[in-house]
Amino acid sequence: MAAAAVLSTAWDSVRQRATLGAYAPGGGAVPAERLDAQGRAELLGRLRWEVVQGGSLFLVYAQLLDGAAFHVLRPRELMDELALRAVGGGAMLPIRVNARDADLPGQLVALLSTGFLFSSLPLSEEQCLRLQRELGSRADPSAAAALLADAGPVAAADRLLAATGVLGTALRHRVVARWGDWLEAAARGQVEVSPLVPADYATAYAVQPPPRAGDLGSDEARAVLAEWTGGALDAGGMPSRSRLYARLDPLLHSADPAVRADAATLREAFDATYYRAIAAGEGCSLGLPAARHGVDRGQVAELAARTPLVSFPTRFELRFGLMTSAQWQRFTDDAADALRAWWEHHDITALQEVGDLLGGRTKEPLRGRGAEVPVTRIQRIGRAVRGVGAEAVAGGGLSLAAGVLGQDVLGVFASGAAGVLAPVLVAAVTAGLPRLRGYRGRYDVIELPGARGRTA
């Protein structure tokens, strides 16, 4: 495997992206079991782009076992569509998933023997909540472990689901079969399974502290913030995502728009902290949605004068997704040296070579459902030298970085934390416009762990 996988939060929102018009009797949208060609290309393109970013994609077990993308993508097909000879000789998928004791079958059965909320199954929200209640009421980890040992993971999963009575027989068999596909791929060594590693919240808080009470406008949100930072929502000595979500749920449905906005701010901040802590513990790069949308190219161009800029062709994720398996293999074979230089040394010039090759091999895709052009911003977490981030000294422009990033970068810098975020921009340039000015689009953020190889 390549040195640095990418843990992406994009797969948390993939439920919405995979909802393609299937509706429950009550009118609520339900994630589709099959994607149309455009939707599948978008998901495949996202996977391929994340492989380009880090050599492999790292998933926490819930992102695989309860991920809409992995309910509609089969590992056997992905061996042709995603595997590349630069990673594992093409004999394995560039995907790593964690599980307790590196036991993915045991992790699945453990989820089914608790009150876990499966949110990406092709069910309405009401049915998902009912399934959670039914699983919780029958929770018996000892009995589930005995069932796993006696019947095997697929049969055990089927029995535990059947006992709830929530899923119809045909749907239950399809869901269990898809889990079986991924368990079989892991058993064959086509997917790497690693043990759970403790999340590193100390690093997560050093890089980006929680919001301050003064950043919130409502007493209700400030009370939840105090519980979060004071440890009242901890479980096993770690902040509990489910407990925080439960506390924020009534605030998110408040009649007061200020309370709803504060609740959304806290949830977004905690999600970033949660995944940053996991990524720091796992030694992964981290993919996050930017805090700000519609960043003006004038701002970005000003920052780019002091920060390396890598330009990718417009709609590069979809370009990746529209490649046939043969085209993807030829592309990654031809880009192999540049990909290794980027993965192993964070060589910005090498990443630009990959973008140039993509632009030369593909054309601008036809406009589909969305009009936004995704742009990825890559950030490096620099080690501190006497309290000063190495990349910050080399790159300069902290005030500009704070303006574009929409984060309290100066506050992190001034606090003497272990590192600061020095941006490297990867921009999709609008067709026919070689300059950055005038473009407003969505940004992703990739944080690269440590300061290795060339300084950005």
Residue range 30-83, pLDDT digits in tens: 555 677 888 889 889 989 998 998 899 999 999 999 988 888 889 999 999 999
Lowest-confidence pick of 3-17, 89-103, 120-134, 333-347: 3-17
Lowest-confidence pick of 114-128, 190-204, 219-233: 114-128
Tokens describing residue 391: 């990349």
pLDDT at 398 over 50: no
Q: pLDDT band for 382, please (50, 70, 90 cuts).
A: very low
d(CA 410, CA 420): 9
Quick one: what percent of the chain has pLDDT higher than 90?
A: 46
pLDDT, residue 383, reads 40
Please report which residue ranges of 217-365 form alpha helices under DSSP H.
Answer: 219-230, 241-252, 257-282, 297-304, 316-322, 325-334, 336-345, 348-361
Lowest-confidence pick of 346-360, 379-393, 437-451: 379-393
pLDDT at 28 over 50: no
Beta bridge partners of 385: 388
Residue range 145-180, pLDDT digits in tens: 999 999 999 999 999 999 999 999 999 999 999 999
* DSSP class of 294: S
CA 280 to chain centre: 14
pLDDT, residue 421, reads 44
Question: Which residue, among 56, 26, 118, has the nearest Cα to 287 in the 3D structure?
Answer: 56
Query: How would you list the strands of the sheet with 57-59, edge to edge?
Result: 192-195, 95-99, 57-59, 6-8, 285-289, 443-448, 375-381, 421-429, 309-313
Lowest-confidence pick of 62-66, 102-106, 282-286, 404-408: 404-408
Quick one: what percent of the chain has pLDDT higher than 70?
A: 70
pLDDT at 384 over 50: no
Max Cα distance, the chain (Å): 63
pLDDT at 26 over 50: no
Q: Per the confidence metrics, is the pTM higher than 0.95?
A: no
Residue range 296-346, pLDDT digits in tens: 556 555 655 656 667 788 888 899 999 999 999 999 999 999 999 988 888
405 or 6, higher pLDDT: 6
CA dihedral 176, 180, 186, 192 (to 10 degrees): -20
Contacts of 118 (CB under 8 A, 6+ apart): 66, 111, 128, 131, 132
Residue 319's Cβ-side half-sphere holds a number of Cα atoms within 13 Å equal to 20
pLDDT at 138 over 70: yes
Residue range 239-296, pLDDT digits in tens: 998 899 999 999 999 999 999 999 999 998 998 899 889 988 988 888 765 544 445 5
- Residue 444's φ and ψ, nearest 5 degrees, are -105, 160
d(CA 148, CA 104): 12
